[in-house]
Copies of this chain bind each other. A is one copy, B any other.
């Protein structure tokens, strides 16, 4: 028993395949006699007919597929974004094809090529660097895309990102209120919009809250990774930089700071307060539970998918940038500085 095709259904219903097609397609159903339509539907159901989207795609030149480009699905940041994307795409009849680039530009190019050859109708990209020739190239070729989490410079492409500036400002305000005056920022890579936006916002907030402004209080990190956060933290300590609190560019960098506290017998939060960014899962289980900035990752995915579908369906719109609100989650890793 072969899979029934539209022809089988048409035959069973005693109509032409074109009529069957119209009857089964919600958009064209109104063009066909209600009786006929019902007859076709019943025939389809009784045969267990399932339309073949491949044939449809070939005809309509729409694959009903979008590509999702991630550095690494294994990073706990991304699964919620993917969930959000899927949740919005599914009801619209679209599916997501996920690829991992491992932050390797060559691999990224290969993966995106593969997605394009699979005829994806658009891309959701989480790997943007500020200077990103590949994205520029894609944009010139009118590939529809939406950036998530991070953005690119000088490129008129839609994006959905957390309100990095507000998050850092809240973190600084929190520490200032507790009485901290010397706060170290573990700054993320300057190649990423999140890295530089958070660092810039940190400087602004430090000024605004009248904390100590000192270039040594900004420790650059070259990767968003725990080991790199630890390295930068050690370097700051070794250089004799004084501070009573740390705001990490993200949670992984904060974990690196935790590690160094462990190594050097620094008590958190008694000696040093630490704040992260992202609110990854299970941070509340750390000892001390990490104070961090919660980002609505799933919502980022939902918004990005929505914008991409708009771009696919609708006419060319101007690029939009959506900032999603964040909120400081105060846990046990921050407290007022030791009386000094």
Contact = CB atoms under 8 A, between A and B. Distances in A.
A285 interface: yes
Interface stretch (A31-39, A93-101, A205-213): A93-101
Interface size on A, as a range, is: 35 or more
A51 B286 CA distance: 50
A80 B74 contact: yes
Nearest to A87: B100
Contacts of A63: 54
A63 B97 CA distance: 14
A258 B285 contact: yes
A100 B97 CA distance: 14
Q: Kindly name the residue among A50, A58, A255, A282 whose own CB sees the greatest number of chain B CB atoms within 10 A.
A: A282
A54 B72 CA distance: 27
A86 B74 contact: no
Contact of A54 (B58, B82, B98, B255): B58
B58 A86 contact: no
Interface of A: 50-55, 57-58, 63, 72-74, 76, 78-80, 82-83, 86, 90, 95-100, 113-114, 116-119, 255, 258, 280-282, 285-288
9 contacts: A50-B113, A52-B117, A73-B79, A82-B98, A83-B100, A90-B99, A90-B114, A287-B287, A287-B288
